Amino acid sequence: MNKLKEALKNNTPSYGAWIQIPHPAIAEIIAHNSNGKLDWICIDMEHGSIDIETMTNIIRAIEKYGIVPVVRVPKNDYIWIHRVLDAGARGLIVPMVNSAEEAERAVSEALYPPMGNRSFGYCRANNFGADFDEYVQSANDEIAVIIQIEHIDAISNLPWIFTKKGIDGTFLGPYDLSGSLGVPGEFYNDRYKKCLKHYVKCSNENNVPMGVHVVRSTKEQIDLFVNHGYKMIAIGTDAVFLEEKCKSTFEGI
């Protein structure tokens, strides 16, 4: 069972990390030093400079540690969704989903017929055809589909977005959401806090697990989000880990 999808299904917290630097060694270092605390690692194809080949090699590195490889695709596009799944991603984060129709499109392209429109083909995910039948039969149950809620339009459309089947969870985009309100980064602004309250309320009413990225994380911040009901917690980024360790090391010289 996909550990991330299982955690979302059971409404229990799962923890991940975030990769933007295009090298599989980054995933190996993070996974090896996570002391078994990570359930998943997200490869960010929307921001950063990771290409499809490097992404595939990073997936290989993540799999070696029994961690679920998740990919944030650049956009809600069937070509990107199909390609990252074919490469072996077991979870998708689809950015900027602002309507029920866009949510339905994301889910549909992630699932094989008759549940969706994902195309069939020999690929790395099915061991280049050797496990084709087994993979096709299990993929719809194994792939975790996460949509990002990061615009005022998405907040307004949440009641309709949540009517669509196949959404395993949502992932909040605080900076883009605050930017769409005209107050980028102002997380204590009343308009932003009102949107956040609506997001939490709708998610709980529809039993859709919430996710959030704690970029500069502390244990207190992580515990705070867990206590507020967030179930999919992304901790830091590779660049932030490197930056913070460099600063703390060189400050002592």
Please write the tens of the pLDDT for every residue from 69-86.
Answer: 999 999 999 999 999 999
CA angle centred on 210, ends 209 and 213, rounded to 5°:
145
> pLDDT tier at 105 (50, 70, 90 boundaries)?
very high
Give the pLDDT score at 178: 95
Percent of the chain with pLDDT over 70: 100
| Helix or strand (DSSP H, E) at 149 | strand 144-149
Give the pLDDT score at 37: 94
Asked whether the beta carbons of 45 and 75 are under 8 A apart, the reply is no
| Helix or strand (DSSP H, E) at 42 | strand 40-44
Residue 167: both structure tokens together: 């959404």
ω before 174 within 30° of 0 (cis)? no
pLDDT, one tens digit per residue, over 124-147 is: 999 999 999 999 999 999 999 999
Residue 148: both structure tokens together: 């990002």
Kindly state the average pLDDT of the residues 244-253: 91
Q: Evaluate if residue 48 carries a pLDDT over 90.
A: no
| Helix or strand (DSSP H, E) at 82 | helix 78-86
Q: Evaluate if residue 13 carries a pLDDT over 90.
A: yes
84, β-bridge pairs: none
In the Cβ-directed half-sphere of 187, how many Cα atoms lie within 13 Å?
6
CA atoms of 139 and 119, how far apart (whole Å): 12
pLDDT, averaged across the chain: 96
Q: Which of 23, 32, 47, 151 is catalytic?
A: 47
Q: For the chain, what are the domain ranges? A: 3-251
Residue 172: both structure tokens together: 């909040």
Q: Evaluate if residue 252 carries a pLDDT over 90.
A: no
CA atoms of 114 and 66, how far apart (whole Å): 30
Asked whether the beta carbons of 141 and 119 are under 8 A apart, the reply is no
Annotate 128-165 with three-state secondary structure: HHCCHHHHHHHHHHHCEEEEEECCHHHHHCHHHHCCCC
Indicate the SS3 state at residue 230.
Answer: strand
| CATH placement of domain 3-251 | 3.20.20.60
pLDDT, one tens digit per residue, over 163-219 is: 999 999 999 999 999 999 999 999 999 999 999 999 999 999 999 999 999 988 889
Active site residue 228: no
CA angle centred on 44, ends 40 and 49, rounded to 5°:
145
